[in-house]
Chain A
Amino acid sequence: MEVGKHSDEENLTAQVVRGKVLWEANNCMGCHTIMGEGAYYAPELTKVVERRGEGYMKAVLMSKTPWSPRGRKMVAYGFSEEQANDLVAFFTWIGNTDLNGFPPKPDYKSTINTK
């Protein structure tokens, strides 16, 4: 099916699905957006693997205190290594779906110095 082709159905492994279960059971969508859907309180996560890399993400997910380098607090889930890997697999899969160009590439990124 076409939806499948766009959404990378063939790479939908059991690990990705376990990640999705964690994503839903904890209502991460109540703070974050994914594929542009969800809440507007915390970063959009469609391209988070590309943006932060696996190590950073695992630090966020396994943190035992609320993660908040930029001020806002995330819930301190303190996930196990295995759970964190499942979530990273889920975000990797999401990052590989063909979203017709979303999120847009910023026009001026190269000229601005972001931390």
Chain B
Amino acid sequence: MRYKSQKLAYWFFALSMLLLTLQIVYGFIMAFAHLGYDVLHPVIAFNTARAVHTNLLVVWLLSGFMGAAYYIIPEEAEHEMVNVKLGFVQLISLAVVGVIAIIGYHFNYWEGRKFLEIPRPLDYLVVINVLTFLGLIIATLYKGKKRTTTSLVLTMGLVFAALLYLPGMIWFDNQTMDSFFRWWVVHLWVEGVWELIMGGILAFLLIKITGVDREVIEKWLYVIVGLTFISGVLGTGHHYYYIGTPKYWLIIGGIFSAMEPLAFLGMALFAIAMYRKGEKKHPNKIALSWTLGTAIVSFVGAGLLGLAHTFPQVNMYTHGTLVTAMHGHLAFWGAYAMIVLAIISYSMPNMTGRKLFDSTTGVLAFWLSNIGMLGMTVAFGVAGVAQVYLERKMGLDFGDVQKEIQVHFLILIVCATMFTTGIGLFIYEFIRYGLPTDEALESVN
């Protein structure tokens, strides 16, 4: 059974695709700057490019999550979205706040705290926006016939994500305290509540695509939520090794963060097991690729590459080097970018009525973007490890080391071009699907 109000999701996905494109443009600006061509310096200095790159990332992912919720919640609750008009208002205000923030970054209007650069007045608008979104989701769930575990986990993730935005808005005179609470947002998002959002979307997709019983899939979901909380909360300690906090964090952070990959391993095993078990072979092969892909690549990028530098003895040397950028790219890509692309691939045929899910373009988009991103990860990784040895072990000057490792940014750009081609094809398919229609959503299947 499908619902007309699910159409709203399409517009959030469209906003996502637009912002993703812009994010990539700013990524290239930084990659060229690293290579020695910072020709845009007078107009778009590196710190502007970086703030735009990472904030666009967060906003397009959030827009994707919101679209996912607007698609999934009516179907799970068996009830139309309570107020579609307000949903559109929320969409437009999200886009407007995002655009103002991005423009502001070009004019030195920001708060210089990594990932939380949005200036205070805009923070309040973000809060209002997110409250509207949550209000709509919760009201729909409340009025709906069913409250499934999948929809509750997804909603819980979204509610906690909103609450955890608040500690990032407190001013501290002390840099250590500042950093301490910055991690409540950054770490507890990506290694806590966003995992619930990912788990919820993943469970929904697996139920639809593999046809395995909801009871079985939701049992796994409980295990994953449990593992996430047990490891992720105290795992925050892996950011409290070297910022002026007491030594006991070395032990707490080391032990608990080393358990964090288990939640990602759980998701990978879960997705593969359900795929094997599934009787029904859903025709949407591309959605299946993205669904299994997100589970596997997130384990590699977040789980394994996170583990690689999470022990204090290693982190002492890799802390704040390009090694972190290596992990950041594959983790964000595997866990959160791919899950958004998965729900888009699954829902587009249902919303538009066009079944483009066995096109070569779609398959190419999947492989080019993934292989390109893996290549970028290797390029960052090699540059990062070389940096660690030359700067932290040999004691060469930062600037001299950067010259030595510059060539890896050429490789980065080559791989990023491949990645971008894949994303280009994905967006081309997205456009080819056309607009969502009531008829498509009404045709039960």
A29 touches B114 (CB 8 A): yes
Closest Cβ of chain B to A5, distance in Å, is 8
A38 touches B320 (CB 8 A): yes
A41 touches B394 (CB 8 A): no
B399 touches A20 (CB 8 A): no
Category for how many chain B residues contact A: 35 or more
A71, CB-defined interface residue at 8 Å: yes
Contact residues in A for B245 (Cβ distance below 8 Å): 3, 6-7
Interface residues of A in 23-42 (CB under 8 A from B): 23-31, 33-42
Q: A43 vs B241: C-alpha distance in the bound complex, in angstroms? A: 20
Contact residues in B for A75 (Cβ distance below 8 Å): 45, 47
A31 touches B46 (CB 8 A): yes
B125, CB-defined interface residue at 8 Å: no
What mask results when residues 34 to 49 of chain B are scored 1 for a CB within 8 Å of chain A, else 0? 1010100100011110
Q: A16 vs B95: C-alpha distance in the bound complex, in angstroms? A: 37
- Interface-central residue, B114, B175, B391, B398, by most chain A CB under 10 Å: B175
Q: A111 vs B380: C-alpha distance in the bound complex, in angstroms? A: 28
Q: A94 vs B398: C-alpha distance in the bound complex, in angstroms? A: 19
User: Which residue of A6, A31, A115 contacts B246 across the interface (Cβ within 8 Å)?
Assistant: A6
Q: A75 vs B321: C-alpha distance in the bound complex, in angstroms? A: 21
Tally chain A residues at the interface, Cβ within 8 Å: 55
B47 touches A39 (CB 8 A): yes
A9, CB-defined interface residue at 8 Å: yes
Chain B: CB-nearest residue to A98? B244
A112 touches B395 (CB 8 A): yes
User: Which residue of A20, A30, A40, A102 contacts B324 across the interface (Cβ within 8 Å)?
Assistant: A40
A53, CB-defined interface residue at 8 Å: no
User: Which residue of A4, A27, A36, A108 contacts B243 across the interface (Cβ within 8 Å)?
Assistant: A36
A114 touches B175 (CB 8 A): no
Closest Cβ of chain A to B266, distance in Å, is 29
A106 touches B392 (CB 8 A): yes
Chain A: CB-nearest residue to B38? A73
B110, CB-defined interface residue at 8 Å: yes
Contact residues in A for B108 (Cβ distance below 8 Å): 25-27
B50, CB-defined interface residue at 8 Å: yes
- Residues of A near any B CB (own CB < 8 A): 2-4, 6-9, 12, 16-17, 20, 23-31, 33-44, 66, 69-73, 75, 94, 97-104, 106-109, 112, 114-115
- Residues of B near any A CB (own CB < 8 A): 30, 33-34, 36, 38, 41, 45-48, 50-51, 108, 110-114, 117, 173-177, 179-180, 182, 241-247, 250, 316-317, 319-322, 324-325, 391-400, 402-403
- List 14 interface pairs A-B (beta carbons < 8 Å), by A numbering: A7-B245, A8-B244, A27-B51, A29-B112, A30-B46, A35-B243, A39-B46, A39-B50, A70-B397, A71-B36, A72-B38, A73-B45, A75-B47, A99-B244
Known: A29-B112, A30-B47. 12 other contacts (CB 8 A): A2-B246, A12-B174, A31-B50, A35-B175, A35-B242, A36-B243, A36-B319, A39-B114, A69-B399, A73-B41, A98-B244, A114-B395
